[in-house]
Chain A
Amino acid sequence: SQKIEQNSEALNIQEGKTATLTCNYTNYSPAYLQWYRQDPGRGPVFLLLIRENEKEKRKERLKVTFDTTLKQSLFHITASQPADSATYLCALSHTGTASKLTFGTGTRLQVTL
């Protein structure tokens, strides 16, 4: 069966460092991969989208990579800040699925001073 794995343990990182979150998938050939941020008690908020033929995508302090050979995406936050503390979700979709997404369980990031 299709499986998306994100590290269920929280990632604790010091302010100013680069946070790296991992999304692995099996039995799946996604065409697109998206990353969302979710704060406690709120809905997910879209951050970045990357296509299968793109290796890397950047937006301000955020960078996403997509390796279809390793079946893995890495999500980086550079110069992390306490305000970056949240749960980060990866989501995958096929082509022709009207944006139907399959989500991972998310990784909680805690940035401390």
Chain B
Amino acid sequence: NAGVTQTPKFQVLKTGQSMTLQCAQDMNHNSMYWYRQDPGMGLRLIYYSASEGTTDKGEVPNGYNVSRLNKREFSLRLESAAPSQTSVYFCASSEWGDVQPQHFGDGTRLSIL
């Protein structure tokens, strides 16, 4: 019972390189989310997908794109990485609705030089 799986766990990029972070959940959840976590800033929502086929911007979407590939998978793409995107990225999933708890993966630690 894996829950939410994120790959890779660690990555180092050079400025300007592109990269896709992968996320898959096996709980049959409708909604999925991408957050970034920086020291002193807390978790901030980048993009979310309320259900398969829909995506919406969160608080900090600039520099990112997402794809909801199917109900299980939600990927986050950095087209041209910048040092300001150095962060820990978390994917989460939940049942659709207002009061659903979110289930998180263990994150991808991304450094951009």
Contacts and interface: CB of A to CB of B under 8 A. Distances in A.
Given A32-B99, A98-B97, A99-B98, A44 B41 contact: no
Contact of B99 (A51, A89, A100, A104): A51
Given A99-B31, A100-B48, A103-B43, A43 B105 contact: yes
A18 B43 CA distance: 27
A interface secondary structure, majority: loop
Given A43-B90, A43-B92, A101 B40 contact: no
Q: Which 5 pairs show the lowest CB-CB distances between chains A and B?
A: A43-B104, A46-B101, A103-B43, A98-B50, A105-B42
13 contacts: A8-B40, A32-B99, A43-B92, A44-B104, A46-B101, A46-B103, A49-B99, A91-B43, A98-B50, A99-B97, A100-B33, A101-B43, A102-B59
Interface of A: 4, 8, 31-32, 34, 41-46, 49, 51, 89, 91, 93, 95-106
